[in-house]
């Protein structure tokens, strides 16, 4: 693979050159845009950016919901050799301002609905972006049919393409850089051989394009194979996914565990009958949820594991070879190793810190050399996750290293293990477990639970939920749940990831124990 590839050229213009310009590329609201229509708009948008002196290495930030406007401006920036910085359109204004202050973009493209209160002065130029109504206007009518068009795609060895900010599940988001070539390795390792993506696929995704899982699977991989992307500008929910599915009949669904739980409370078959394969990532898919999905839908569900630093999924179950509760096996050419606190390898079946190596690795974090040096070591990335690998190569995710609970007399407890147990109860739709200390300073697991619609919390239900761990591990008191708090919803990021630190966990901390 050439190291000087330009993604706009390879993923978009290539299809025009090879006679696929009339193929559907984007489905949005009530219309479809072809590859040719998207390409024309990208060239014109790139010409607009050129007017503002955007070129190689400049940052172009996008605060735009999932829409043709996002796709056009993203590819226009990459075409010019600029670095696109997609921002989640649901981010609070304070978070947007923080990222803008760190990036200082040459151009900031912002949806007209989000302009109030945002520090647009942090960018050299701000362009207000419309909804691409009828695919005729995008930058407040700066883009029109008679205007100039940009032509040549910029290429350079190791050229940076985009910077994705992490979800902020553990604090301040990190800006994760990627080159043009990185995602192509992920598509060739995962999307084509494992998901069996082809030009016939219409992709519907829960994760938004501002995040690696959504950007890689719903746009970049879809365009790689000549397929099409279904764009949903509204926040992802069971209802919004079902409505989009009923309109566009997707063949591939990229989901997350929480979204699956919401969908399973709806009548899926009218909208999801066209889906040939469903995928989930982002958090552990507990066996109980997998079983409910398979009982409801005759559609295989593949759980996988990836990180934004790697670019996309690099561990996955495979069609016909699913082990519920596992992340699957490592996809070549990626490699992993599991290390203890001293960075020595752990044995089979032993939980260790997950490190990964492969051709799509990020070159580092934007403006954070110390964090980069700590996480990227000798061609490997420390993911911050814990996992174990069995003798047959199957990998089981054990949670974030900074979320482990040291309970009882100093025994480690994985919150994900207890959360899976709670989610096996029919009345529970979401659960989180953290470490909490009592008046003596002794730490024990504490559960936060969201109940199914119509179920009322009471002492009997609390006792029943606490009893699940007692029944499962009668002699392991450090795994027993000390208390249960019922909530209407758990604190999550816009991508659905749990913000465990907001539940005030006591994790990875030494305590005094009375044993």
Instruction: Of 87, 79, 89, 85, give the one whose Cα is nearest residue 54.
Output: 79
> Given CA atoms 245, 235, 327, 449 in this order, what sign does their dihedral have?
negative
Query: What's the predicted TM-score (pTM) here?
Result: 0.82
Q: What per-residue confidence (pLDDT) applies to 23?
A: 98
Residue 179, pLDDT score: 97
The two domains 181-400 and 404-503 share their CATH topology (first three levels equal): no
Give the pLDDT score at 142: 53
Gap between the Cα atoms of 464 and 468, Å rounded:
7
pLDDT of residue 507: 39
Domain 181-400, classified CATH 3.40.50.12780, yes or no? yes
The structure tokens listed for 484 are 């249960």
What architecture does CATH give domain 404-503? 2-Layer Sandwich (3.30)
Q: How many CA atoms lie within 13 A of 309 on its CB side?
A: 23
- Topology of 1-178 in CATH? Rossmann fold (3.40.50)
One pLDDT digit (tens) per residue for the chain, 515 residues: 567 899 999 999 999 999 999 999 999 998 999 999 999 999 999 998 999 999 999 999 999 999 999 999 999 999 999 999 999 888 888 889 999 999 999 999 998 888 778 999 999 988 887 655 433 445 544 555 556 677 778 888 889 999 999 865 555 789 999 999 999 999 999 999 999 999 999 999 999 999 999 999 999 999 999 999 999 999 888 899 999 999 999 999 999 887 888 888 888 888 899 999 999 987 778 888 899 899 999 899 999 999 999 999 999 999 999 999 999 999 999 999 999 989 999 999 999 999 999 999 999 999 999 999 999 999 999 998 889 999 999 999 887 777 777 675 556 677 888 988 999 999 999 999 988 876 545 678 899 999 998 999 999 999 999 999 999 888 777 788 988 999 999 988 766 778 887 886 433 333 222 33
Tell me, what's the pLDDT at 508? 34
Q: Cβ(284)–Cβ(385) under 8 Å?
A: no
| pLDDT score, position 237 | 86
Residue 321's DSSP bridge partners are 318
Q: In the prediction, which pLDDT does 441 show?
A: 54
The domain locations on the chain are: 1-178, 181-400, 404-503
Query: Mutual orientation of helices 287-296 and 415-423 as an angle, nearest 10°?
Result: 40
Looking at residue 411, its pLDDT comes to: 64
Peptide bond into 483 cis (omega under 30): no
> What pLDDT is attached to residue 479?
84
């Amino acid at each position: 693979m050439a190291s000087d590839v330009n993604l706009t050229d390879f993923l978009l213009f290539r299809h025009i050159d090879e006679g696929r310009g009339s193929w559907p590329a984007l489905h949005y609201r009530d219309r479809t845009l072809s590859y040719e229509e998207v390409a024309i708009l990208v060239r014109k948008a790139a010409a607009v950016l050129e007017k503002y002196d955007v070129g190689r290495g400049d940052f172009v930030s996008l605060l735009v919901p999932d829409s043709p406007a996002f796709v056009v401006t993203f590819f226009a920036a990459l075409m010019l050799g600029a670095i696109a910085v997609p921002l989640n359109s649901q981010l609070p204004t304070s978070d947007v301002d923080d990222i803008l202050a760190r990036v200082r973009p040459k151009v900031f493209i912002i949806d007209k609905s989000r302009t109030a209160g945002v520090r647009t002065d942090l960018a050299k130029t701000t362009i207000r972006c419309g909804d691409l109504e009828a695919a005729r206007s995008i930058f407040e009518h700066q883009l029109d049919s008679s205007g100039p068009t940009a032509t040549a795609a910029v290429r350079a060895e190791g050229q940076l393409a985009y910077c994705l900010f992490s979800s902020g599940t553990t604090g301040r988001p990190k800006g994760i850089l990627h080159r043009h070539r990185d995602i192509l390795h992920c598509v060739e390792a995962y999307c084509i051989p494992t998901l069996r993506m082809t030009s016939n696929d219409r992709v519907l995704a829960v994760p938004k394009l501002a995040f690696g899982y959504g950007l890689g699977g719903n746009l970049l991989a879809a365009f790689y194979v000549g397929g099409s992307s279904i764009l949903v500008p509204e926040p992802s929910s069971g209802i919004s996914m079902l409505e989009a599915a009923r309109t566009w009949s997707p063949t591939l669904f990229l989901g997350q565990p929480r979204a699956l739980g919401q969908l399973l409370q709806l009548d899926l078959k009218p909208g999801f009958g066209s889906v040939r394969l469903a995928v989930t990532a982002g958090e552990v898919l507990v066996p109980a949820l997998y079983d409910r999905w398979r009982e409801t839908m005759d559609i295989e569900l593949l759980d996988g594991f990836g990180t934004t630093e790697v670019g996309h999924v690099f561990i996955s179950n495979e069609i016909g070879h699913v082990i519920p509760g596992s992340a699957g096996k490592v996809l070549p050419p990626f490699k992993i190793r599991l290390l203890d606190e001293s960075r020595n390898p752990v044995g089979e079946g032993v939980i260790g810190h997950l490190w990964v190596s492969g051709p799509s690795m990020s070159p580092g974090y934007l403006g954070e050399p110390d964090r980069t040096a700590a996480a990227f070591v000798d061609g490997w990335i420390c993911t911050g996750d814990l996992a174990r690998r069995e003798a047959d190569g199957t990998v089981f995710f054990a949670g974030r290293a900074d979320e482990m609970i040291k309970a009882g007399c100093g025994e480690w407890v994985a919150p994900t293990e207890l959360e899976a147990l709670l989610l096996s109860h029919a009345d529970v739709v979401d659960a989180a477990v953290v470490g909490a200390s009592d008046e003596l300073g002794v730490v024990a697991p504490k559960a936060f639970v969201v109940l199914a619609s119509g179920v009322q919390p009471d002492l009997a239900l609390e006792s029943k939920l606490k009893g699940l761990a007692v029944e499962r591990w009668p002699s392991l008191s450090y795994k027993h749940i000390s208390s249960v708090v019922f909530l209407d919803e758990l604190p999550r990021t816009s991508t659905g990831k749990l913000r465990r630190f907001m539940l005030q966990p006591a994790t990875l901390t030494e305590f005094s124990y009375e044993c």
